[in-house]
Structure 1
Amino acid sequence: MVESGAQRHHASAMTQDFYQKNPGAEWLAHRYDPEHDAFQFHAVDRALRRSAPFLTDDCLSPSHPPLIVRRGDVAVTDNVVHFLFHSAYCCSTLLANALDLPGAAMTLKEPVLLNDLVGWRQRGAAPDAVSHVLDHGLSLLARPFEAGEATIIKPSNVANGLATAMMTLRPGAKAILLHAPLDVYLTSIARKGMTGRLWVRELLSRQLVDGLVNLGFTPRDYLLHTDLQAAAVGWLAQHRLFATMAERWPDRVRTLDSERLIADPMGSLEAASAFLNIALPVDGFATVVDTVFRQNAKDGTPFEQGQRDEERRQGQQLHLAEIEQVAVWAQHVARNAGVPMELPLPL
């Protein structure tokens, strides 16, 4: 694609503006290019970050080429950052939307920059090099729109292999580990048909590369597993990771079940804000619960009373026998591998 003169002029103006002042939060550190040791930035305002379900090209639809800046030329600052790690299909986008509180906290939903570092690491990058860039990248992502705001980063669950590194690099950070019960997770995967079943196999392949799967299986076993067994293996691997993190950082980690979040949104949000030391809105979380929890977290469409439960019930009816069999099988695997089905340190 050939750039027009107007596009080049706009990019030049952006570059000049970038270097005239310390880059603020409006410049999203979007990608990392290891070949040139450079970050790619897009100007993304707060409204778009709040409305986009994920910080991906598809959701952001940037109208101009990225602003490319060598890593050594970008100033970094120390800002408050926390994490929302999750096991997918567990209302993590919903929780991130609810905790995006201008003046108190800003949430970043699955920045692609972290996925780039995962891919770079899995292609054989030196651990020290990944650590240095991750440190730099977290500093750029943590820049708040308003002074005093904490930044809450919700990485993609593909980036869970870097979760312990992130917590180590940011000793002042806290983390909420959000997960869905196994049967709820399996139902979500089954409902999505081939898309969900392919996704869990791709996730498992990444977890194997990251060394997160240690459940007593041989490489051949993974080829013999059904799709929902592969989903359960991935869930158990993430559960073990979360349990290990809770044991390692008992003062910095809390766990949260998606079913508790939905059943008691007010109590869950109050506990989360207290744990993360985030100021409550003027009316507490009443407005947040009445708005954010009444919408589809991905597209903003209204959710009718009981709609989530009905959709889940329909999915369970279609796949109940398979879900029940895999859930029992997974409990045996968990017991043999020493993986707790219930995570410690609930929020």
Structure 2
Amino acid sequence: MGCREPAKSDFRYSTDASSRAGLVALADGVLTANEAGTVVRLDRSGRVRWRAALDRDVATRPALLGSSVIAGTVAGGLVRLSLEDGAELWRLTGEPPVLTAPVVDAEGKSIFLVAPDGAVRSLVAETGKTDWERPPPGKPEPTAASRGYPTPVVDGGLLVVALGDAGLMALAAQDGAKRWQQDVRDVVGMTLSRDTLYVSTGQGRVVALNVTDGAVRWEQTPAERMTGPPSLALGVLWVGASGPSPELVGLAPADGKDVVRVPLPDPLLTGVAAVGDDLLMVPTSGRQGRLLALRASTWEQAFSVRADTSLRTQPVVMDDQVIVLGLDGRVLSWRVRPGGP
């Protein structure tokens, strides 16, 4: 018998419109949304559990809230849907455009939103009523109305937001009071591991901070520009970078020193994900949409598969199943054999 293929196509499902909202991992599948305002829940086989139609483009990743999901639109709508059947639980209209992904506290009591001008609000999850609001940190940036900020991070009683030229700011989740601030600007993305907040910036900086007080633990500048948020996998801190050519940079989480650099065919604009303890899945943003698999023992390419659409959001991994969202709105799944060919 011949060798098994290292990755076998599992399913392909089109949401019927382009999408940049990313995937929400569920116990039995994924949830996503698209620029037509449709929210879709799929099971692991690619079958539709439900579809819900909102009024406008959903430009950000929805947020899980217990047995429900929060989705916002560019028209300023915010909706809470039942995770079971997509039924609408409440809806707000006339809000600022939702261009930054909403986040929810661990208790599921509060929803945090960052407006295009940098204003931060906390909503009561049960009703959608505003609990507190913090005004913009200063004059809005010229481009603020056309893009969002990096997804905030919630840790215990702190909400960490990256607000362009205003830098990083940690707010008390209870009332929005400022707890600390750091002059880390042009943030591309953030990720939290225990009490360490890892931050990548457009100026090529990667900074590790104590999330409790904002103290800098280390700082490195491994490239001219970071193209994606940091992500932790297989004991390494990974970030997409650009310089003469696109590459994947792996840093030691303890001190930020280089571990490995891997040339990429196209920029990495999002996070990576691990399959088991031996494969790293790297989605690339070129028109071919290559999903690369790197072998952990050497960080060399084990294989790659083509999505034929740009991959700009982080994959979801469930055992041997890897699910990605294409810019064209297709959800694609492969079954991956750990170890490759």
Give TM-score scaled by structure 1 length.
Answer: 0.24
Higher relative CO (Cα under 8 Å, sequence separation at least 6) belongs to: 1
Which has the larger Rg?
A: 1
Q: Which has the higher helix share?
A: 1
TM-score of the aligned structures, taking structure 2 as reference length? 0.24
